[in-house]
Chains A and B, each alone.
Chain A
Amino acid sequence: MNASDLPSSVRRLLGSLVDASVRERIAISVAALFASLLVGAVVIMAAGLVATCKEPFLALGGSSFCYDPWEVYYQLFVSPFLNDFNTALMLKETTLLLFTGLAVAVAFRAGLFNIGAQGQLVFGALGSALAVLWGAAFVPTGVVGSLVLIPFGLVVGAVVGGLYGAVPGLLKAYADANEVITTIMLNFVATNVAFYLVSTYFKDPASQSVETKSVPAVAQLKPVLGRFESTSFSVWALLTGLALVVVIYYLLFHTSFGYDMRISGIQPAAAAYGGVDAERLVVGSMVLSGALSGLAGAVYVLMVLGRWRTGIPAVGFDGITVSILASNNPLGVVPAAFLFGILKSGSLSISFALGVPKQLVGVLRGLIILFVAMPEFFRMVGLKLGVGDRQPVATDGGRPVEGGDDDE
């Protein structure tokens, strides 16, 4: 599709999104957030009108409203900060999404849509769990054991995820197979192969569920801070995630490899003309993306569950949305993942504190994410189509003329 096929009004709208400055884009996001809250409030009222309850918060004439939007939003956005358990839950989700959000963002920058983060995560998690279970026999318990086993588990998770990410990368580079299709399909492959492997070979014989044995306590990422005791959140994992954000940012914007990746993403022909080995770059980007997803899987095993178990949550898929919210900027992944963390923890508070069904909470979460992500999404569409005044110029690697490095 070409930009000139579009009606002029659409082109103008997309163009204004493409041309928006960082500050304008943040303002758009905040405005979108509030718009979503307003629409959500209407949904809450409507649902409350249909539902029946003992104590409606508001009765107007013959009709009564069961759910108070103000109370719902209070639980959703404020309660994650009020109680240590909720805070831990929020940060746990944030931590996992930092990794997968980064994974998707890195691939996006190189012009690759990695929908396979979930599959890479599942394999990374399995590899990490098995490696730690195997390695536990050779290391002493105590701090030394932790210092050996935890990095070992993380590295194996990253390697396995990276190798699995290399598959669609190789298929794309050398067989011209669309990575969107292959990564989607490889998700199913990963989930089912992992299920088979665990149920047939690595199952905990004492358990009726399809799960591995529990990894030893020394290999588990501990909460560290006393206030997060008895939760599944480790400060170390969060710090690792934040450090990776910085590393990936540096890699993308301050190294020649990152430069090649970004040009290939914006203008592959120009990159090839500039001497970039396109095949190697595609494979390399997918390996990096897969490694980050695999790392997320390893963190999931070592921090959250303490074992591999079938039914891994869709952290990899959420990573796609996080990346879009962050407009594929590594630094933007932090607030985007944080928003997801708040929503995750807040929605649990809602279902505990108020009688709001979890399906309705899911609708609210979806609305918020949809509203906030859409402007960025359409901006990406606009960039792809080349509308707006600040079109990328092929010869200079596509960097817009004005604005700093972190503009996009």
Chain B
Amino acid sequence: MTNIQRRKFLKYTGGSVALTGLAGCSGGGGSEETTEAGETTASEGETTASGGSGGDTINVGMVYALGGLGDKSFNDMAHRGVKQAAEKYDVEFQNAEPSGPSDFKTLQQRFAQSTSPDYDLICCIGFAQTSALKETAKQFPDQNFMLVDSTVDSDNVASYVFKEHEGSFQIGHLAGQITKMGFEAGAGKTNDAGKIGFVGGLEIPLIKKFQAGYMAGNKYAHEDNEVTAAYVGSWTDPAKGKEIALSMYDDGADIVYHGAGASGIGAFKAAQERGRFAVGVDADQSKSASEYKDVILASMVKRVDQAVATAVENVVNGSFKGGQINALGLEKNGVQPVLGQQLGSSVPDDVTAALEESRKAIIDGDITVPTKPGDV
């Protein structure tokens, strides 16, 4: 065991030499810098062991979220990210899919303790891994981790979160404009009621961010527009998702936006039944769930693939920074509204122009998007 620890120690300190130059950029991490500096001096002269000359293959471990690969959304996006990195650089990756929440820690530990290969980065996909990673990161202080959709305050964890509220603001802005105009495309038609709906999965802060941005964007489009919001209470209950969406449509809503995982498929079904519109989430669902493309107005795409690819790239370049929260917003297209593949072309130009304007305003800080529905 001591031998293993020594190896990892050397590897890490090798990396931290490269880090110290960048430490200034991270800003405010006083304690981080001191620990890194301390360890660097401790292993002076030995850093050649893994100086990161670029010749070594970078090994990446992937621990996916519970939905698993093949979900056509969140996990597949992460998988795409690591594949992209593997095509570009000398990177090899190993996938691990948990069968339950109790597997997160086991899989993280399995990667972290491995010595052949010695994983340079472990990507933990999904907020559900947060509490497991808190412990694993503490147990393996020399191992680099990245976490998507949540934050762990540890020197060896780079957290990637998305400004879903910004992307949702744009969706709200789009929907708020469409609902006020006589819009007809594909299998849907608005009734000019100025009403839209939101279906969430679980009522947690992450999903409330979607709701808050959506509500704010809708209000930005037309001050007197209305939003009704409801939560399914599950990620995997399309029947209930459909029920909720149907009641919203029957109440006059023209467009329903979902942030409900697989339950959201029910909203698409409801839109087809009532001849209205729906908005997808995470991936471009007019493509990944193409049987509903005739009602999917747009999707709020979350570029999980970019987060993973960037983290791997940083490790390859020796610029990986732990203890940092990377918030991906509209400016780098970390989140972006993507119009549906069938309906997109029918959206009037003045609507898309207005969207482009609000996008710039958010990036420039002229519009501040709330993250809590109560603040809208």
Contacts and interface: CB of A to CB of B under 8 A. Distances in A.
A244 to B, nearest CB: 22
Contacts of A211: 131
A231 interface: yes
Interface in B75-125: 94, 96-97, 99-103, 105-106, 109-110, 112-114
A313 interface: yes
A313 B104 CA distance: 12
A297 interface: no
Contacts of B60: none
30 contacts: A84-B1, A85-B109, A85-B113, A89-B106, A89-B110, A207-B131, A208-B127, A208-B150, A208-B205, A209-B101, A209-B127, A209-B130, A211-B131, A229-B1, A230-B112, A230-B139, A230-B140, A232-B106, A232-B109, A304-B105, A307-B131, A309-B101, A310-B101, A311-B66, A311-B102, A312-B100, A312-B102, A313-B102, A348-B106, A348-B110
A306 B135 contact: yes
Nearest to B61: A352
Interface in A61-92: 84-85, 89
Listed from nearest, the 5 A-B pairs whose CB atoms lie closest are A311-B101, A230-B139, A208-B204, A85-B113, A311-B100
Interface residues on B, range: 20 to 34
A226 B102 contact: no
Interface string A178-213: 000000000000000000000000001001110100
Interface in B134-175: 135, 139-140, 150
A178 to B, nearest CB: 29
A214 B110 contact: no
Contacts of B140: 230
A306 B131 CA distance: 10
A85 B97 contact: no
B130 A207 contact: yes
A309 B1 contact: no
B193 interface: no
A226 B97 CA distance: 28
A358 B140 CA distance: 26
A313 B110 contact: no
Given A208-B205, A214-B131, A230-B140, A304 B102 contact: yes
A29 interface: no
Nearest to A207: B131
Given A208-B204, A209-B128, A309-B102, 15 more contacts: A226-B1, A230-B113, A232-B105, A232-B106, A300-B102, A304-B102, A305-B102, A309-B101, A309-B131, A311-B100, A313-B100, A313-B103, A348-B106, A348-B110, A352-B114
Interface of A: 84-85, 89, 204, 207-209, 211, 214, 226-227, 229-232, 300, 304-307, 309-313, 348, 351-352, 358
B206 interface: yes
Contact of A352 (B94, B127, B128, B205): B94
A173 to B, nearest CB: 34
A207 B133 CA distance: 12
Given A207-B131, A208-B204, A305 B100 contact: no
A75 to B, nearest CB: 13
Contact of A230 (B109, B131, B205): B109
A358 B97 contact: yes
A351 B204 contact: no
A230 to B, nearest CB: 4
B372 to A, nearest CB: 14
Contacts of B128: 208-209
A221 B97 CA distance: 27
Nearest to B107: A348
Contacts of B100: 311-313
Contacts of B130: 207-209
A313 B109 CA distance: 18
Contacts of A348: 106, 110
Contacts of A226: 1
A333 B79 CA distance: 41
Nearest to B112: A230
Contacts of A307: 131
Nearest to A85: B113
B207 to A, nearest CB: 9
